[in-house]
Amino acid sequence: MPKAYSEDGYIASHTYTTGFYKEQTPAFLHYALLSGGLGPRLPAAFSSSEAFASCDIGCGFGLTPIIAAAVDPTADIWGFDFNAEHISGAKALAQAANVPNVTLLDASFETFLDHDTPDFDLITLHGIYSWVSDESRQQIIKILHKRLKPGGVVYLSYNGLTGWASAAPMRQFFYDYTNLTDSDPFAGASNAAAMVNGMRAAGAAFFGVNPQAGRLLDKALQTDARYMVHEYLNGNWSLFSLVQVADELASAGLSYAGSADLTHAFDVFHMTPEAQAMLGSIPNPLLRESARDFFMNPLLRKDIFVKDPPLTTSDRQTEALMDQRFCAMKLAGQLPQHFNFPRGGVSLTADAHAAIKTALSKGPASARTIVDNSGVELKSVLNGLKLLANVGFVAPALPEAMTAEGQQHTDRFNAALAEYEKGSGERVPFYASPITGGGISREADAALLKAFGVRV
């Protein structure tokens, strides 16, 4: 095995990109559980407004757990990664930003269990499960079994079987090229992609019958080289169906609770009536979700599992949705009323659109507040907010009390970034927002940053 790889077949000699992933934040997962319930068997959404402990498995440079800790100083946040350079950089950032409630460990899946940790309310894994060995996945499952509280939530993303199936031979060629030419991973990935692009230009039949592979090749040719190396060149690269993952996690007492991909909330916009009827006729939720992948063809599945899930009623779910606050992800005056989807357009009702836009222009607001102030029908407001969240124009926001408490801590984090970057040479692409409880691109418009509570 080349020196670039760890014993587990993972790229160890090159660091990954510095990213923030909203699906790992408590506020987002709370709303995803509320809005995507599984019919009559509704998992109770865990509270993002109570003190909690969370762990990010394979946290990379640690930006997501550090921001979570900066936003909520009462939380006990952990993250670990086997790449010592990742953790060294993460610790330096946490120290520079004076974020004391995050613990970052240089540890493997196996050795993490040797550490004295709390039992966690939330454990997240982004971009890990598909890229490790069978043995490592068993260690991950052991962590979930031993360290997740009853009622605790797991967010897990992995490469979907349907989305990647046609591109798997191309990925294998990237990997084989790099190994057989004994290339440095960066050079190997770049040269292999160029060679495959040459094959396509020369009329390779593969791309004619696998158009998805061509789209992924175009992305590979344009993307960050570090993403290319870690996405395509790891020794382990597995595709999964939901049923396969659910079967593995069942041994840790986990049950599938829904998706963190909000597009799952609107089949009507992505599928024909015949497709919706066919899916609706499948009673088993796991089988129904697996069948749905043939229509949606996701590259990355973003699933939520719960340990011994507490259940709730539809009435309580509606009450919780009414109290969920939202903020505009664009300037509120720019919130559109009409959207186009593969199966046609859809519009918010004029009164719901006006009420939501008016409310959010003043700051975060809940459906209950919007209805009370406007008199618009609750169902129209809830559907409008759900649609706007689905397309990324609004986002779930933290309770007002949490925002007020977190403001000084996010101010301190955001103010420290410039000095940290000067000393480390590592760009941190996100500010922390006390409104969303997550990261906001530093390239965002100044007025929008202000609306998100970013003061720099």
Cα angle 129, 103, 410; round to 5: 100
User: Do 452 and 435 touch, CB atoms closer than 8 A?
Assistant: yes
Give the tens place of pLDDT for each residue, 303-353.
999 998 877 788 888 898 999 999 999 888 889 999 887 777 888 999 999
Shared domain for 47 and 89, answered yes or no, is yes
Give the per-residue pLDDT at 3. Answer: 45
Shared domain for 249 and 109, answered yes or no, is yes
Give the per-residue pLDDT at 216. Answer: 94
Shared domain for 97 and 212, answered yes or no, is no
Give the tens place of pLDDT for each residue, 348-388.
999 999 999 999 999 999 999 999 999 999 999 999 998 89
Give the per-residue pLDDT at 223. Answer: 84
Distance between CA atoms of 417 and 232, rounded to whole angstroms? Answer: 31
H or E stretch including 159?
Answer: strand 148-159
Give the per-residue pLDDT at 331. Answer: 83
pLDDT at 164 over 60: yes
* Domain-embedded: residue 218: yes
* Domain-embedded: residue 197: yes
pLDDT at 49 over 70: no
Average of per-residue pLDDT across 164-171:
95
Ranking 1-5, 104-108, 244-248, 413-417 by mean pLDDT, the lowest is 1-5
Which CATH number goes with the domain that contains 133? 3.40.50.150
Shared domain for 59 and 208, answered yes or no, is no
Shared domain for 182 and 156, answered yes or no, is no
Give the per-residue pLDDT at 5. Answer: 46
H helix and E strand count, the chain: 20, 16
* Domain-embedded: residue 435: no
Q: Of 370, 392, 414, which closes a domain? A: 392
Shared domain for 247 and 100, answered yes or no, is yes
SS3 per residue for 78-117: EEEECCHHHHHHHHHHHHHCCCCCEEEEECCHHHHCCCCC
Q: Model pTM?
A: 0.92
Average of per-residue pLDDT across 113-140:
95
Average of per-residue pLDDT across 98-121:
95
pLDDT at 222 over 60: yes
pLDDT at 1 over 50: no
* Domain-embedded: residue 135: yes
* Domain-embedded: residue 4: no
Shared domain for 59 and 204, answered yes or no, is no
pLDDT at 14 over 90: no
Give the tens place of pLDDT for each residue, 200-217.
999 999 999 999 999 999
Is the model more confident about 38 or about 55?
Answer: 55
Give the per-residue pLDDT at 449. Answer: 94
Give the per-residue pLDDT at 45. Answer: 61
51 falls in which pLDDT band (50, 70, 90)? confident
Give the tens place of pLDDT for each residue, 29-43.
989 988 875 554 566
Q: What are 120's strand-pairing partners?
A: 148
Domain carrying residue 178? 165-232
Give the per-residue pLDDT at 440. Answer: 94
Give the per-residue pLDDT at 309. Answer: 80
Give the per-residue pLDDT at 2. Answer: 46
* Domain-embedded: residue 276: no
47 falls in which pLDDT band (50, 70, 90)? low
Average of per-residue pLDDT across 45-74:
87
230 falls in which pLDDT band (50, 70, 90)? confident
Shared domain for 132 and 79, answered yes or no, is yes
Beta strands 120-125 and 53-57, pairing class: parallel
Percent of the chain beyond pLDDT 70?
A: 93
Percent of the chain beyond pLDDT 90?
A: 69
Q: Which are the contacts of 309, defined by CB distance < 8 A and separation ≥ 6? A: 43, 44, 151, 255, 257
Torsion angle (degrees, nearest 10) of CA 33, 35, 39, 41? 30
User: Do 4 and 11 touch, CB atoms closer than 8 A?
Assistant: yes
pLDDT at 245 over 90: yes
Give the per-residue pLDDT at 7. Answer: 47
pLDDT at 122 over 70: yes
